[in-house]
Amino acid sequence: MSETSVRRAGNRVFIAGVALLILWVLLPIWLLFVNALSAPAEVTGFPKRFIPSFDLASLSFFFGFSGVIDALWNSVKVAALTMILSIGVGAPAGYALSRFDFPGKETFRFLVVMTRAFPLPLLALPLAVMFIRTGLDDTILGLALVHTTLALPFAVLITFSLFSGIPLELEEAAWTLGCNRVQAFTKVILPLAAPGIAASAVFAFVISWNEVFAAAVLTVENRTLTAFLLQSLDVSPLPLKFAGGAALVLPALFFIFAVRKYLFAMWGIANR
């Protein structure tokens, strides 16, 4: 076999691999949207049409379903609160990590990531007991606190890499030009970091939005959309599931796409 034919074969394998990965990600999403936007009768049919029929019957049935709007609103409230809490706590931590040397800094960074090592099911029961004792059970705040612990490591890491990317000299220049520490931060660092902080906030929102386990365990009356769908999964018809799935996936997909540049930056991959 000549060298060119080997290279050509290698190319084919590469393209096939890429195609497979694309299918792996896009096929379920495509199925979800085709079914969500099809008439209920078409959902069980096969083969699927590539372009859905844009029959809104499934979606309107879904939104008309009792409890869906409340659950959706709960999801938004919990996610928004999670976003505020994780940025409020995470961004200062990220700033401290990028600007100061303190004893145990590396250990702290490690522990931040370690929080993700505890399986949520393990924590859920003691948390539920504790929440019932403190009256936090079945509240928006209680669930947002749990979601914040999930989102916080990412908020810290993203803002850490964000602040590290802003030269210290800019801050020092601001100090010599008459700023105190707070003014230098608000006048120079914040405007430069704002898009990244927004991205990190959106990511926290999505984590909360998609979270299902804690939501299912810790809420009874005030269910979020994920918990609501999980609860009614076995009793609801197929079109409702697809419509619910699409309603969950769409915002998450949209937000993550909008902030992808910063998520890559978190892992040190330049995306130019």
Partner 1 sequence: MAVIEIKQVAKSFGSFTALHSVDLTIADQEFMVLLGASGCGKTTLLRIIAGLETPTIGEVWIGGRRVDHLPPRERGIAMVFQNYAVFPHLTVFENIAFGLRMKKMDQAEVTRRVNRTAELMHIEQLLKRYSGELSGGQRQRVAVARALAMEPDVILMDEPLSNLDALLRLEMRAELKGVLAESNTTTIYVTHDQVEAMSLADRISVMNGGRIVQAANPVEVYRNPAARFVGSFIGNPPMNFLKAEPAGAGKWQVAGQVFDGPASAAAEFAIRPEDLHPAEAGLPAEVRVVEPLGPHTLVTASVAGQPFRAVLESNLLPAPGDVLHLAPVPDRIRWFDPATQSALR
- Give residues in contact with partner 1 (CB under 8 A): 167, 169-170, 172-180, 183, 187-188, 191-192
CA distance 62 to 270: 41
CB of 173 to partner 1, least distance (A): 4
Q: Least distance to partner 1 from the beta carbon of 179, Å? A: 6
Nearer to partner 1 by Cβ, of 66 and 176: the residue is: 176
Query: For residues 106 and 234, which CB has a smaller minimum distance to partner 1 in the complex?
Result: 106
Min dist. Cβ of residue 268 to partner 1 (A):
21
Distance between CA 85 and CA 62 in Å, rounded?
31
Tokens 């916080």 — which residue? Answer: 152
User: Closest Cα partner for 185 from 272, 64, 99?
Assistant: 99
- What are 5's two structure tokens? 């034919």
Listed residue (72, 71, 34) closest to 238, CA to CA: 34
User: Considering beta carbons, is residue 12 or 181 the nearer one to partner 1?
Assistant: 181
Q: How far is the CB of 177 from partner 1 (least distance, A)?
A: 4
**CB of residue 162 vs partner 1: minimum separation in angstroms?**
14
Nearer to partner 1, 188 or 240 (CB): 188
Give the integer Cα–Cα distance in Å for 109 and 157. 8
CB of 185 to partner 1, least distance (A): 13
Q: Judged by CB, which is closer to partner 1: 122, or 270? A: 270
Residue 222 CA, distance from chain mean position: 21
Residue with Cβ nearer partner 1 (162 or 243)? 162
Closest alpha carbon to 248 in 203, 200, 202, 212: 212
In Å, what is the CA distance from 193 to each residue of 117, 155, 190, 206? Answer: 29, 13, 5, 20
